[in-house]
Amino acid sequence: MHTEPIRRIAESSARFYTGDAMTSASAIDPIVFVLRHTHWDREWYQPESVFRKRLVDLIDELLGGTPNEPFLLDGQAILLRDYLAVRPERAAELAKALQNGRLEAGPWYVLPDELIPSGEALVRNLLAGRRALASAGRRIAG
């Protein structure tokens, strides 16, 4: 299903890895890096409450998991607020995981639709994402 994009990433990584623009990606074995992650839909084929429970279960598991395995929750920070609305007592643990890189989220507040919003809406989405990340304990540069 996602073979083509992964192959293209692998080829571009392979070219970058060799440092030689003339090197054919097919002449060497590509190196593929996969970061443990999820893509999060707040509501889709199940009601929001079902997805919220899955989110809480996932983050509960990650907070209790192996410390040296980073996990990218998604490109949207709103899921941190969704989690903390259910588990406010785990705010300090979540903040620590965000600070030490064990968990990553954002930078968007919600995943942007590239076709509908204006440029200003995209910027405001990023700013709201920064606020949500900061409020969850993630240190924000600049």
Residues near Zn ion, by CB under 5 A = 41
Task: Decide whether 51 or 102 has the Cβ nearer to Zn ion.
Answer: 51
Would you tell me the crossing angle of helices 119-135 and 78-86 to the nearest 10 degrees? 40
**CB-CB contact of 105 with 73 (8 Å):** yes
At its nearest, how many Å lie between Zn ion and the CB of residue 34?
19
Nearer Cβ to Zn ion, position 41 or 93?
Answer: 41
Residue whose CB is less far from Zn ion, 41 or 60: 41
- Nearest distance, CB of residue 111 and Zn ion, angstroms: 7
For 34-93, what is the HEC assignment? Answer: CCCECCCCCCCCCCHHHHHHHHHHHHHHHHCCCCCCCEEEEEECHHHHHHHHHCHHHHHH
**Nearer CB in complex with Zn ion: 11/41:** 41
- Minimum CB separation of residue 67 from Zn ion in Å reads 29
The CB-of-41 to Zn ion minimum distance in angstroms stands at 4
Cβ-proximal residue to Zn ion, closest one: 41
According to DSSP, the residues that pair with 66 across neighbouring strands are none
- In the complex, the smallest distance separating the C-beta of residue 73 from Zn ion, rounded to whole angstroms, is 13
Closest residue by Cα to residue 132 from 83, 90, 80, 68: 80
Judged by beta carbon, residue 75 or residue 83, the one nearer Zn ion is 75
Angle between helices 91-99 and 78-86 (to 10 degrees): 150
